Structure 1
Amino acid sequence: MEQDRILQILQEVKAGAVTPEQAMLDLKMCPFEDLGYAKVDHHRALRQGVPEVIFGSGKTPGQIVGITRSMLARGSGVLITRLSPEAAEAVAAEIEISYDPVSRIAFAGERPAPDTEGRIVVATGGTSDIPVAEEAAVTAESLGNPVERLYDVGVAGLHRLLAKLDVLMSARVVVAVAGMEGALASVIGGLCDCPVIAVPTSIGYGANFGGLSALLSMLNSCASGVSVVNIDNGFGAGYLASMINHMGGTKS
């Protein structure tokens, strides 16, 4: 982590192993590294507690490999989102990664173990919502959170959700992922005493308008404590859920 590197530099100055001038040069090199096609933000972990995340869509495998190697050299585990199976295969030929084709997320380096007692629950309205839900779940797990999945518990068969009330009530954060009319978030928001992050998906018939109907339903939720991210933005939901979960404290 970048905090460890800065602490090491300061300790080396204290011990007389490096001069203050050399330490100043090292610190100047810390904020970001210019690769030409990307400026890698090495101070992201220091500012936000989480290293920069690589958005894989639109980048070439070579660019992804270059950014990942730059971050790994600084000791950061690297999370890569929206990585196609074809790009993942090309990247894996150059560096070691673990890849989940459902969430389209890859991870390079050592994945952190859960470091908080709080649990995130990721629920979906239907099976078709699972790819977005997995993006949220895998993101949260990669950021050190225990995650429990409740899939296909939508309002078309409400008894499926009510059978898992104990799971919902024990969560610190719930991520509700749904397309169609997006009603799942309001139902969960009316049952739970924790924050609910609603994720509208583009799943649905023609009048769903690519997820717009679910987005508007979630924005107009009458349940308190429901916040909404963009359509199909599982990563944003998983990241926000992790931030909320870690506000409750970490393991000692």
Structure 2
Amino acid sequence: MSLDLTEILESLELGRISVSKAKKLLSLYAVEKIEDFAKIDTSRKLRRGIPEVVFAEKKEFLDLKKIILKATSKTDSVLVSRINKNHYKKILAFSRKNKLKIHTGKNTTTILFSNKLSSTGGKVGILTAGTSDIGVAEEARLVCESMGCQCICSYDIGIAGIHRLFPVIKKVIREDVDVIIVVAGMEGALASVVSSLVDIPVIGVPSSVGYGYGEKGVAALASMLQSCTLGLSVVNIDNGIGAGAFAANVANRSVRKKSRFNNSKTS
């Protein structure tokens, strides 16, 4: 029996299949095998709200094409992150040839495959200290948008010219964002500064921008982890994907809570 998720649930409700049969079908539905080298988690977005993410950096080009075709045929959103620069243009051409709807970002080789980006009402602010941090921030943006969140982005507002920050802080507060992502390299101080100015959860992303003693993001990571401002959480160096997923989860849960609260007041 080959059923999609909706058909399985409808069949269970109508008594056409047993609970054990439904459980078996759902477990089969959750994983899609690709020959002997990959297993796609096709129900991740239904289960967790986060789409399947394919880490492409070390994958062979032919294998990557097979993964993309299979994943896009089974789920409405797939992120392919860190595509090898030698493969990136080929993947773009391959996507156009196969009429796959793609969303790209500045200074990143991560691609979001999605026919339609829905909206949950969640809002995420994404800030960077410098232009060198934009690629990581754009990865976070693509993840957030794949999860239905609107992103309010502002780049190159680091503490070397701290006066650039204050109009942006006013904007994210006015936009009533649910969470803020801050990407910063060098000493990573921007995350602490932003966290000290708002009553909004802040996710710090240390970027691998820097040289010398604290090179490759080490100083930024240490600085964020030892921040004296409260309300700041920190992910790994260059982990825009993880920051985006966490931020969108926070934003979407906040929207659901607000909706239930408003409904309870009117009932």
Q: Which amino acid aligns with 1:45?
A: K
Please report how far the alpha carbon of residue 31 of structure 1 lies from its aligned counterpart in structure 2 after TM superposition: 2.6
CA distance in 2, matches of 1:97, 1:83: 17
TM alignment of 1:179-198, pairs within 5 A:
179-198=185-204
Partner of 2:108: 103
CA distance in 1, matches of 2:86, 2:28: 34
Q: Does the 8 Å contact 1:198/1:227 carry over to 2?
A: yes
Distance 1:59 1:199, change over 3 A: same
Secondary structure of the residue aligned to 2:76 is: coil
Structure 2 gap ranges (5+): 260-267
Deviations 1:9-43 (A, max 9, x none): 23246668x76698676445213122210111223
CA distance in 2, matches of 1:196, 1:124: 13
Q: Does the 8 Å contact 2:136/2:238 carry over to 1?
A: yes
Partner of 1:9: 8
Distance 1:229 1:31, change over 3 A: same
Secondary structure of the residue aligned to 1:104 is: coil
Identity percentage over the alignment? 37
Q: Which has the higher helix share?
A: 2
Q: Which amino acid aligns with 1:248?
A: S
TM alignment of 1:1-252, pairs within 5 A:
5-12=4-11, 26-35=25-34, 36-91=36-91, 92-93=93-94, 95=98, 96-98=100-102, 99-100=104-105, 102-116=107-121, 118-169=122-173, 170-250=176-256
Secondary structure of the residue aligned to 2:162 is: helix
Q: Does the 8 Å contact 1:103/1:138 carry over to 2?
A: no
Bigger Cα displacement from structure 2, 88-97 vs 32-41: 88-97
Alignment size in residue pairs: 247
CA distance in 2, matches of 1:161, 1:24: 51
Secondary structure of the residue aligned to 1:224 is: coil
Please report how far the alpha carbon of residue 71 of structure 1 lies from its aligned counterpart in structure 2 after TM superposition: 2.3
Distance 1:141 1:27, change over 3 A: closer
Secondary structure of the residue aligned to 1:199 is: strand
Q: Does the 8 Å contact 1:30/1:42 carry over to 2?
A: yes
Deviations 1:191-237 (A, max 9, x none): 01011000111112312321100100000001100010111111111
CA distance in 1, matches of 2:180, 2:41: 30
Please report how far the alpha carbon of residue 132 of structure 1 lies from its aligned counterpart in structure 2 after TM superposition: 1.2
CA distance in 1, matches of 2:70, 2:252: 27
Please report how far the alpha carbon of residue 97 of structure 1 lies from its aligned counterpart in structure 2 after TM superposition: 4.7
Q: Which amino acid aligns with 1:230?
A: N
Distance 1:161 1:53, change over 3 A: same
Structure 1 gap ranges (5+): none
CA distance in 2, matches of 1:133, 1:19: 46
Normalised TM-score (structure 1): 0.87
Bigger Cα displacement from structure 2, 219-228 vs 129-138: 129-138
Deviations 1:146-200 (A, max 9, x none): 1111111111111110122312323211111111111101100000101100011
Normalised TM-score (structure 2): 0.82
Bigger Cα displacement from structure 2, 97-106 vs 222-231: 97-106
Q: Does the 8 Å contact 1:175/1:197 carry over to 2?
A: yes
Q: Does the 8 Å contact 1:60/1:87 carry over to 2?
A: no
